[in-house]
Chains A and B, each alone.
Chain A
Amino acid sequence: MNTLRAEWTKVRTVAGPGALLLAAAALTAAIGVAAANATGGCPGRGCQVDPAKVSLTGIYLSQAVVAIIAVTAVSGEYSTGMIRLTLAATPRRWRVLAAKAAVVGTATLVTGAVAVLASVLAGSVLLARHGIDAAHGYEVLSLGHGPVLRAAAGSVLYLGLVALLGLGVAAMVRDSAVAIGTVLGLLYLFPIVASFVGDPAWHRHLDQASPMTAGLYIQATTNLRALPLTPWQGLGVLAAWAAGALLAGGLLLRFRDA
């Protein structure tokens, strides 16, 4: 409990994380609004707009901000030497990592919930104005609708898992520059490489293994059969990456000199 409080104090008393959390929420909502505004109905069959996905486009960018918060929560301690004090006060190092995960994860989830809620509300108003609503045969964009609720709640969880991935990687490599490069590389590189691979089977495998592509399946509310994984399985892929990173980071933290 004291470890948790210590970590909360660290996050609370530095200007960076608070400002970044605000930025993440604002970016998510702003991009969601821009995306919803730019979307028109599309004529013809075979053209489907996924309203939930459109209004949650901002996650593509805000995950990067969340990654900074998570990475600096660990690597900041190494660069200032604070980590020695932290580990002297709490010699059980697993507990330090768990407390950091709890504090950063909770802060991300709360911010994410606000951002996602704002995005969905703005999206439902703006998309309806562009003729994308239930009356025109599109999916309903309301949190009372099961798939939309899943997409919204899943997006919040997605941001939380990205934060855990960032913490784990930062605990592994310690340096903030290398850690943020690794996290963003993991997130953004898979879909780009997959788009160049010509073999459809390989493309599918890369999509299934990609933390971002698979993780964001949670936002899909239309055409679910075309996805290589179900939405929850997709989020599970990201969870596996995050758990693996946390485990490796925890082991290195436990057995390596700080």
Chain B
Amino acid sequence: MTTATAPYRSELGTGRDGFAQLLRAEWTKFRSVRGWVIGTFAGALLIVGLGVLTGANSECGIQLGPNSPSLACPAPPTGPGGEWVTDSFYFVHQPLAGNGSLTIRVTSLTGLYSTQGNISAAGNSDLGGMTPGVQPWSKAGIIIKASTARGSAYAAMMVTGTHGVRMQWDFTGDTAGLAGTVSAASPRWLRLTRAGDVVRGYDSADGTHWTLVGTVTLTGLPASAQAGLFAATPGHTVTSSSFGGSSAVGGPALATGTFDQLTRQGSWPAGRWTGQALHGVGDNGLPASAQKFTQSGGRYTVSGSGDIAPDVGGTGKVEHVLAGTFGGLIVVVVIGVMFITAEYRRGLILTTFTASPRRGRVLAAKAVVLAAVTFAAALAGTLIVIPLGQHLLHENGNPIFPLPALTYARIAGGTAAMLAVAAVLALAVGTLLRRSAGAITLLIAGIVLPYLLARTPGVLPDGAQEWLLSLTPAAGFAIQQSTTAYPQVLSDYSPGNGYFPLGPWGGFAVLCAWAVLALALATYALRRRDA
């Protein structure tokens, strides 16, 4: 006779494979491998250490005379928006009390330029060796400015070398007016009117039909502002680039505007106009002695050098102290790939999939854990290295490029987020290939190498550089870009100088797209393939 015995049942409750349990399992795997934990710390340390290395070894100094001590590099003046600006030009001004207007006819804009480098170094005002010709952004016109202090608020109507009539204000603002170049046969009439804090700019091709070009508000414009004529021009540069390397040749330039039919409304003084070159230490323009103003009858000629524009200069940028991101990236890629390939190598993957048969969720849990750990470690690194590195740069005489707090937050948080997304990309590629060496090489060749090739001058031509940084995951480094490219300032906006073709968020989106694509492929492969 047989007795029915109840089958064995474990007294433990049924296990659950909820996502929280999966996350906990993956977190346990990560934190219990000593090499990965040490590696994560080492990655953060690399970010800090290499940033300190570059900050401590970037000295900036100028000597005013052969025997004078080296001084810290001077910081450019800051404009009303807090940004660095160039504010050097020849200013012919009178105080304008209260509201009023200034109208003038421009009959010519001519220029001279040097191809011999900076001839202003010796204070040489001999213009004999210069070549006639205007620069694209040579400018001459009328301006209302808060004061003659460099960096003060302004609004101006001007004719330019090749960009027609423009209204510009407060260094970053720029609106186009009438197109075409100015000449005696086709002169341009310009007008600025002030009413309180509001300045309006008008242009006209015949002196009777006027078009409003722009209306700007100059907050806090004093009751008595300086108003008058000005001329300025950035230097002449020719940049040629090729595989052999890009080379820039050029020198300072001079722009001369000829004006007549000046009419004024409002309370202007009766005396003469005051001519003055606004000029600062370290400017690349011609010395003040080469800039001048003459008046004969109703005809005014103003010659000036320099520029009124945002300064897109290269020193003291926050990117310089983030050089360690690349070291951190290599560590992150190695750990990200190993987080999955180690499971294949040890056979742990069989246990993992037995415990949690829904493989896509395993990959998702791994991605979440990896991204969170990487983000936290990298954020700690960037939050330490940015203030520390900038302090070192400052100690070494570098003026620090001023940035809004929000931009600092984007750069610090974005760098950490970029590394986290790169870790997820590494995890996905590791899942697809299941081989560490191949996956890591593919990732480093796909992320670090394009950036290296695009940044190193003379390895690739400009077109190829921008193409690489638009399509490869290296585009993600754009999140670190701290400066803005201004169309009204000619400069080296190449990746080597810290400018990315897609802008910060566009570049980051390219990296994210690669990570999403790789994750989708990895999930598909994981489901279809035997483990």
Question: A33-41, A83-91, A140-148, A228-236: which lies at the B interface?
Answer: A33-41
Interface flag for B466 (CB, 8 Å): no
Identity of the chain B residue whose Cβ is nearest the Cβ of A199 in the assembled complex: B57
Return A205 CB to nearest CB of chain B, in Å. 9
Report chain A residues within 8 Å CB of B320. Answer: 196, 198
Identity of the chain A residue whose Cβ is nearest the Cβ of B439 in the assembled complex: A177
Give the contacts of B425-455 with A (CB-CB under 8 A): 435-438, 440-441, 444-445, 448-449, 451-453, 455
Report chain B residues within 8 Å CB of A54. Answer: 243
Partner of B241, one of A42, A45, A64, A222: A42
Partner of A198, one of B50, B54, B445: B54
Question: B444 near A188 (CB under 8 angstroms)?
Answer: yes
Question: B437 near A177 (CB under 8 angstroms)?
Answer: yes
Return B214 CB to nearest CB of chain A, in Å. 38
Return B456 CB to nearest CB of chain A, in Å. 6
Report chain A residues within 8 Å CB of B244. Answer: 42, 47-50, 222
Return A145 CB to nearest CB of chain B, in Å. 17
Interface flag for A124 (CB, 8 Å): no
In the complex where A49-B244, A177-B338, A195-B456 touch, is A79 in contact with B437 (Cβ < 8 A)? Answer: no
Question: A193 near B54 (CB under 8 angstroms)?
Answer: yes
Question: A181 near B330 (CB under 8 angstroms)?
Answer: yes
Question: B437 near A180 (CB under 8 angstroms)?
Answer: yes
Question: A7-15, A65-73, A108-116, A245-253: which lies at the B interface?
Answer: A65-73
Question: B57 near A177 (CB under 8 angstroms)?
Answer: no
Partner of A193, one of B50, B245, B333: B50
Identity of the chain A residue whose Cβ is nearest the Cβ of B238 in the assembled complex: A44
Interface flag for B31 (CB, 8 Å): no
Interface flag for A189 (CB, 8 Å): yes
Give the contacts of B63-107 with A (CB-CB under 8 A): none
Partner of A57, one of B60, B247, B437, B459: B459
In the complex where A46-B249, A71-B437 touch, is A185 in contact with B452 (Cβ < 8 A)? Answer: no
Question: A199 near B448 (CB under 8 angstroms)?
Answer: no
Identity of the chain A residue whose Cβ is nearest the Cβ of B316 in the assembled complex: A198
Question: B53 near A39 (CB under 8 angstroms)?
Answer: no
Question: A198 near B57 (CB under 8 angstroms)?
Answer: yes
Interface flag for A28 (CB, 8 Å): no
Interface flag for B240 (CB, 8 Å): yes
Interface flag for B144 (CB, 8 Å): no
Give the contacts of A173-228 with B (CB-CB under 8 A): 175-181, 184-185, 188-189, 191-193, 195-199, 202, 222
Question: B452 near A192 (CB under 8 angstroms)?
Answer: yes
Report chain A residues within 8 Å CB of B327. Answer: 185, 189, 193
Partner of A68, one of B54, B333, B438, B464: B438
In the complex where A176-B437, A181-B440, A191-B452 touch, is A38 in contact with B461 (Cβ < 8 A)? Answer: yes
Return A60 CB to nearest CB of chain B, in Å. 7
Docked complex Cα distance between A181 and B439 (Å): 11
Return A219 CB to nearest CB of chain B, in Å. 11
Return B160 CB to nearest CB of chain A, in Å. 25
Report chain A residues within 8 Å CB of B324. Answer: 193
Report chain B residues within 8 Å CB of A65. Answer: 441
Docked complex Cα distance between A107 and B333 (Å): 29
In the complex where A61-B449, A184-B448, A191-B452 touch, is A199 in contact with B330 (Cβ < 8 A)? Answer: no
Docked complex Cα distance between A180 and B496 (Å): 27
Report chain A residues within 8 Å CB of B460. Answer: 35, 38
Question: B243 near A64 (CB under 8 angstroms)?
Answer: no
Question: A177 near B444 (CB under 8 angstroms)?
Answer: no
Identity of the chain A residue whose Cβ is nearest the Cβ of B393 in the assembled complex: A198
Interface flag for B522 (CB, 8 Å): no
Return A72 CB to nearest CB of chain B, in Å. 5
Partner of B249, one of A44, A71, A178, A222: A44
Question: A193 near B440 (CB under 8 angstroms)?
Answer: no
Identity of the chain A residue whose Cβ is nearest the Cβ of B336 in the assembled complex: A177
Give the contacts of B481-497 with A (CB-CB under 8 A): 496
Question: B330 near A35 (CB under 8 angstroms)?
Answer: no
Interface flag for B326 (CB, 8 Å): yes
Return A241 CB to nearest CB of chain B, in Å. 17
Give the contacts of B162-197 with A (CB-CB under 8 A): none
Candidate in A46, A79, A179, A185 with the most chain B CB atoms within 10 angstroms: A185
Partner of B334, one of A44, A57, A181, A191: A181
Return B350 CB to nearest CB of chain A, in Å. 17
Return B75 CB to nearest CB of chain A, in Å. 15
In the complex where A44-B240, A50-B243, A193-B323 touch, is A39 in contact with B461 (Cβ < 8 A)? Answer: yes
Interface flag for A75 (CB, 8 Å): yes
Partner of B242, one of A39, A75, A175: A39
Return A202 CB to nearest CB of chain B, in Å. 4
Report chain A residues within 8 Å CB of B315. Answer: 198
Return B29 CB to nearest CB of chain A, in Å. 16
Return A43 CB to nearest CB of chain B, in Å. 6
Residues of A within 8 A of B (CB): 35, 38-50, 53-54, 57, 60-61, 64-65, 67-68, 71-72, 75, 79, 175-181, 184-185, 188-189, 191-193, 195-199, 202, 222
Question: Can you spell out 22 A-B residue pairs with CB atoms less than 8 angstroms apart?
Answer: A38-B463, A38-B464, A40-B242, A44-B238, A49-B243, A60-B449, A60-B459, A61-B445, A64-B449, A177-B436, A178-B334, A180-B334, A181-B333, A184-B330, A185-B330, A188-B448, A188-B449, A193-B327, A195-B496, A197-B53, A197-B57, A198-B398
Ranked nearest first, the 8 interchain pairs of A and B with the lowest CB-CB distance are: A198-B58, A177-B436, A181-B334, A196-B323, A42-B242, A49-B244, A202-B57, A48-B244
